[in-house]
Amino acid sequence: MEQLSKLIVARENPSSLTNAARTSLAAVASYLVARLFHLPEAYWAPMSALIAMQSALDAALPISIQYFVGTAIGAAVGAMTVAYFGDSVWAFGIAVFLIGLLCAVLRVERSAYRYASVTLVIVILVTRSTSVWSIAIHRFFEVSLGIVVGLLLSEFWPERTRL
């Protein structure tokens, strides 16, 4: 039980009221902007803002870049996979592997590979009523919007460090 407590109770980076306020604002703002642009799955924008939000820009930027790059790779590979090979489980498995190879060749972080694979799952395996290219493009824009909002809030409303 003591070990579990050590994993849950923050000693160096505890939550704060400021963090809760900043995070709430990022989630709501990104959702409203996504709705303003009539993005079909606007909920991806606040999810992405929540991932991108950090105490300050220097902490948010590396995570956001990996998320952005991974989403772009996953959306592109997912759309091409469905367009050329269909949405079979075998095509999906090969695409996950190919994304891993691509990320290794590009020497991007493993987190970008995870984000790319998650986007690939959404593009290939989620039932869609529109073209796969439309799904991929919307996913990319929804995520990018959330990242931008998270970065802007991290830059213009940084959380003050405790003394």
User: Of 29, 54, 52, which is closest to residue 42 (Cα–Cα)?
Assistant: 29
Record the pTM. Answer: 0.84
Summarised one tens digit per residue, pLDDT across range 137-147 is 999 999 999 99
- The answer to whether 128 and 135 are in contact (CB under 8 A) is yes
Q: Of 163 and 90, which is predicted with more confidence?
A: 90
DSSP-derived secondary structure for 1-43: -HHHHHHHS-SSS---HHHHHHHHHHHHHHHHHHHHTT-TTTT
Q: What SS3 state is found at 150?
A: helix
